[in-house]
Amino acid sequence: MIKTLLIAGARPNFMKVAPIYAEMKRRDRTFAPMIVHTGQHYDKAMSDSFFTDLGMPEPDINLGVGSASHTQQTAKIMTLFEPVAEAERPDWVVVVGDVNSTIACALVAAKMGIKIAHVEAGLRSRDRTMPEEINRILTDSISDLLLTPSPDADETLRREGVEESKIRFVGNVMIDSLLEHLKACERSQIRETLGLVEKGYAVTTLHRPSNVDGRETLVGLVGALAEISERLPIVFPIHPRTRQRIEEFGLEKAISSANIKMVEPLGYLDFLRLYSGAKLVLTDSGGLQEETTVLGIPCLTLRENTERPITIEMGTNVLVGVDPEKILAAAYASLDGPPGDFKIPPLWDGKAAGRICDALEKPAA
Ligand code: UD1
């Protein structure tokens, strides 16, 4: 039996862990998986509702760390995860993505000589002011198996000197969740509740510290969104970090007097139903760049860089930055122009979890 601890910490982890856990359960003669939730995200809307929507059981272990500074949060996860790893002594610790839980648990496993598999390895924004970039670089450098979502990630790892035998191109496991729930999300009533018709609205999400923690940038972004909303209503599910800043900077009025509807963070199925019917998505999320690419929905990324270049080269993503004039120009070009060509990147086919399990069964190629 291959005993595996699957680490889930923050919202963008859950849709990556769910298909891997389900596949391991299907292969239960080979795998004995346990889900360890670090508690980095803890609100019902940021965590529990995803477990329900994605059909995941309650985590086997919840470390309950909660929010804190990066150092404190990472240290607390490490301190609480060490005894778990010691007691369980798994064959593999599987970490996904690039959040603090990813590097914290990987570092504990590395110090204990437990093998680490990193799902979503090899992505780089080349922006070290981004907390996730540090997490990516460090996690990749101590992982034994680097499971990549796209060929550019393989290339990056090779350039960084990673041994070929550690790299395995498995595709995008988040897309396993998307394709599996595309039908199920039709039972969500979110469009009806918000009075939306298909392709009659835009969706925006913002939560990157670089976009929301500074007044000037956030004011500029809200101003651009307000102007776009004169052409097309915008639905804006608000991340807790962003809500705090909007209140702190007194931007509620600018939003509510525009055609922008702020809603609470949505569960997986409601959010899938929402963005899958949008005419345009404006975001600083990493995952949404990928999800819109698969569904062929135009996506404007409100950042200066992306660790997911394949969504631009093959998909529907356009890197726009945070200059309000550029955002407006890109939004109008998208709304007025013909639909762009797009292709679904290779191995974003709903079968990545199977390839991840194959790689864990036979790690050395
Ligand atoms: C974290 C990840 C980021 C990911 C994002 C998705 C890191 C470094 N960052 O950023 O990569 O894109 O999650 O959401 O790991 N809060 C709540 N309820 C919660 C969680 C957070 O209210 O369940 C509030 C807290 O006040 C906290 C703030 O949101 O201070 C930010 O949360 P935090 O986990 O520190 O970072 P995120 O911005 O969520």
CA of 252 to the centre of ligand 1 (A): 21
- pLDDT tens digit sequence for 23-75: 999 999 999 999 999 999 999 999 999 999 999 999 999 999 999 999 999 99
What pLDDT is attached to residue 246? Answer: 98
Same domain, 194 and 168: no
Same domain, 28 and 92: yes
Residue 179 lies in a domain: no
Note the pTM of the prediction, 2 decimals.
Answer: 0.97
Q: How confident is the model at residue 132 (pLDDT cuts 50, 70, 90)?
A: very high
Same domain, 308 and 353: no
From the alpha carbon of 131, which atom of ligand 1 is closest?
A: 8
Q: Write down the residue that tokens 């600083």 correspond to.
A: 284
CA of 46 to the centre of ligand 1 (A): 9
Total domains in the chain come to: 2
What pLDDT is attached to residue 364? Answer: 73
Q: For residue 78, what are the CA distances in angstroms to 90, 118, 146?
A: 16, 17, 21
Same domain, 125 and 76: yes
From the alpha carbon of 207, which atom of ligand 1 is closest?
A: 38
Same domain, 165 and 202: no
Same domain, 31 and 152: yes
CA of 300 to the centre of ligand 1 (A): 22
CA of 332 to the centre of ligand 1 (A): 31
Which residue's CA is minimally distant from atom 19 of ligand 1? 41
Nearest CA-CA partner of 22 in 169, 14, 262: 14
What pLDDT is attached to residue 227? Answer: 98
Neighbouring CB atoms inside 10 A of 187's CB total: 8
Neighbouring CB atoms inside 10 A of 157's CB total: 23
* CATH (domain of 49): 3.40.50.2000
Residue 343 lies in a domain: no
Q: Is 70 a catalytic residue?
A: no
Residue 71 lies in a domain: yes
Same domain, 166 and 189: no
**Is residue 202 classed as helix, strand or coil in its secondary structure?**
strand
Residue 34 lies in a domain: yes
**Is residue 65 classed as helix, strand or coil in its secondary structure?**
coil
Tokens representing 263?
Answer: 């809603």
| CA distance linking residue 133 with residue 64, whole number of Å | 24
Residue 310 lies in a domain: yes
Tokens representing 229?
Answer: 């909303």
| CA distance linking residue 34 with residue 229, whole number of Å | 45
Among 67, 76, 98, 137, say which to mutate for ligand 1: greatest number of ligand atoms within 8 Å of CB. 67
Q: How confident is the model at residue 356 (pLDDT cuts 50, 70, 90)?
A: very high
What pLDDT is attached to residue 339? Answer: 83
Same domain, 110 and 43: yes
Q: Which of 13-22, 115-124, 337-346 has the lowest mean pLDDT?
A: 337-346
* 365 has pLDDT over 60: no
Among 15, 138, 239, 290, say which to mutate for ligand 1: greatest number of ligand atoms within 8 Å of CB. 239
Phi, psi of 100 (to 5 degrees): -60, -35
What pLDDT is attached to residue 109? Answer: 98
Residue 93 lies in a domain: yes
Write the Ramachandran bin of 298: left for phi over 0, alpha for psi from -120 to 50, otherwise beta.
Answer: beta
Domain that holds residue 92: 2-172+348-361
Residue 243 lies in a domain: yes
Residue 341 lies in a domain: no
